A = this chain, B = another copy of it.
Amino acid sequence: MYKLLRLVESRAMVFGLHKLLYNHCLRKTITTASCNKIQSEVAKLLALKAQLTTEDATPQKFTLKTPKGTRDYNPQQMSIRNDVLQKIIGVFKKHGAECIDTPVFELKEVLTGKYGEDSKLIYDLKDQGGEILSLRYDLTVPLARYLAMSKINTLKRYHIAKVYRRDNPAMTRGRYREFYQCDFDIAGQYDPMVPDSECLKVVTEILDTLNIGKYVLKVNHRRLLDGMFEACGVPADKFRSTCSTVDKLDKLPWEEVRTEMINEKGVTPEAADKIGEYVRLNGGVELAEQLVKDEKLSKCKAAIEGLEGIKLLLNYCNLLGIKDKILFDLSLARGLDYYTGVIYEAVLTEPIKIGNEEQTVGSIAGGGRYDNLVAMFDSKNKQVPCVGVSIGVERVFSVLEAKLAAGELNVRTSEVDVYVASAQKNFLEERMKICAELWNAGIKTEQSYKKNPKMLNQLQHCEENGIPLAVVLGESELKRGVVKIRDITTRDEQEVPRESLVQELKSRIASLNSNAVNGSA
C-alpha cells in the first residue's frame, strides 16, 4: 500500500488505481461491501488526483494565447464592431424590437435534442458539484426557453450576444468558436407571412445600411421541402436527414449530394434523381404558380401548403418593395431541425475586393419560422409560433478588418476632442485643473500622465489619435489670463481668455461635428 501511495503521489494515477483494485481483488472475493470500499478508495484517489492537478498549475510561464478559435479584439477592431452593431441595432429599433438577454450558459438539458448532428459541438462546463451546464450554442433556443419559462405569448425582440461552438475554426474567414450573433425574432400567433415578410425587410435594411455589396435573399419553405421529398418517394422518417443533405448544396456539387443521399441517408437512386430535378429550380412568383400545377407536387398537401405560403410571402415582399432582392430557391434547406415554415438565407453575390485580393463571403444572414420550439419547453406543450433571422456579423467584421489591414478603412478608437498640453515644465497641476474643468463641462479631454512631457510628443499623440484641438498652457499666457487653442490639422493657434475657454471649446467642437456630419452625408 505504501508503494502504491508513492505511485499515486508520483502522479502515475491511472496505473496506481489499477494496482489498488488488483490488490483488493486478489485478497478477497468481491462482495458488495468490498465493492463499496473500492468505490470510496477510487473517490479518494480521484480527489487526490484533482488536487495534484491544481497544484501542478502554480504560476509559471507558458505559451500565451487565447483559447483555440477565439481572439482578443483590439481598440480598432472594437471600433469597427461597435459601429456595425450600432447600425444593426438601429434597424432593429426602427422595427420596434425590444432587447432581452439570457445567461451565457444554460442547463444542459435545455440544449439537448435541439441541434441534431451539431450537438457534438456544444461546450459543456465541468461538473463542479452543482448543475450540469453548457454554453449557449445559439440565441434561438434560449429565446424559446425564456418564452416558455416566462409564459410570454408575444414578443418582438433583438438579442446581440456571443455564442459558442466547438467547430473547426477558420478564423481568416470569420469562423470562430466564440462569435457574435445578432438575432431578431417575432413571437406570437399572427396571420400567415406578415411577421415573416417583415423579417426579410429587416435583413434588406441591414445589408443596405452596412453597404457590404450586392446580395440575394433566397427563400424556401420546409413544408414544400417535405412535400417534395414525399412526392419523390422518400419515406417520411427520412425527410429531416435528406433535408440536411440538401443543405450541403451550397458547398458541394449535386453529384456528391446525390451520393450522400443514396449511400448514407438510404434514399433510392430514383428518388434522389427526382429531387435533383426540383432543387435545380429557382425564380419568382411565376415559379411558385407553375409548381402548384406540377403533376407530382399538386397531389401532395404539404407541397401545396408550402407553395401557397411562398406565393403569399412573395406578394408581401412586393408590397414592402423588396421583391427584386428575393429569390425563391428550391435548393435552400437550412441545417437546423427546428424550422417548420418559411426559411431564408441572404448571400452576397459578388466577391469583395480588398486590395488586390477577392474574398468570397457567401451566406451573411439566415433564419426562418419555428413554430414548435417553444412548446418543447412548455409542460402543456403550448405553442408560441416564432419567426426570426440571425445576422452573420462575424463575416461583416472580417471583411471590414481586411479592409482596415489593406489601408482602405480609417477608424478612430477614441472620441477625445481636446488635449491639454504644455510646452513648459511644472505645469502638471495647472493641466489637471483645466482637465477637471473640461470634464465637468462634458468635454472629452485627455492629457499626458507625465509630469513634464515633451511638446512634440503631446502634439504627436493628438495627430495619431485624431484629436482635433489642443489647449496649450504657458507661463506668460497664464499671467495674462489667457490660454492658447491649437487646431491640430491647420496648426493655427489662437489666444482666448482663460474664463471663456470652456465656451470657446464647445462652440469649436460643435462646428467640427457639424462639418463632419455634412462631410459624410
Contact = CB atoms under 8 A, between A and B. Distances in A.
A171 interface: no
Interface in A96-143: 96-109, 112-113, 119, 123-128, 130-131, 133, 135
Nearest to A380: B61
A410 interface: no
A59 B112 contact: yes
B126 A125 contact: yes
B70 A105 contact: yes
Given A190-B449, A198-B449, 16 more contacts: A15-B35, A18-B30, A18-B39, A19-B30, A66-B106, A67-B133, A70-B105, A72-B146, A72-B150, A93-B414, A94-B439, A105-B178, A124-B126, A125-B135, A319-B429, A320-B432
Given A166-B128, A433-B319, A191 B57 contact: no
A363 to B, nearest CB: 24
A93 B442 CA distance: 10
Contact of A205 (B61, B74, B439): B439
Given A19-B30, A38-B18, A195-B449, A124 B125 contact: yes
A321 B436 contact: yes
B128 A125 contact: no
Nearest to A413: B98
A227 to B, nearest CB: 25
Interface of A: 14-15, 18-19, 21-22, 25-26, 30, 35, 38-39, 42, 54, 57-62, 64-68, 70-75, 78-79, 81-82, 93-109, 112-113, 119, 123-128, 130-131, 133, 135, 145-146, 148-150, 157, 162, 164, 166, 178, 186, 188, 190-191, 194-195, 197-198, 201, 205, 316, 319-321, 376-377, 379, 413-416, 428-429, 432-433, 435-436, 439-440, 442-446, 449-451, 465
A313 to B, nearest CB: 12
A73 B93 contact: no
Contact of A112 (B57, B96, B194, B415): B57
A320 B166 CA distance: 49
Nearest to A434: B319
A439 B123 contact: no
A395 to B, nearest CB: 18
A449 B188 contact: yes
12 contacts: A21-B21, A66-B102, A73-B102, A75-B100, A95-B439, A95-B445, A96-B445, A103-B178, A197-B432, A198-B449, A201-B436, A320-B436
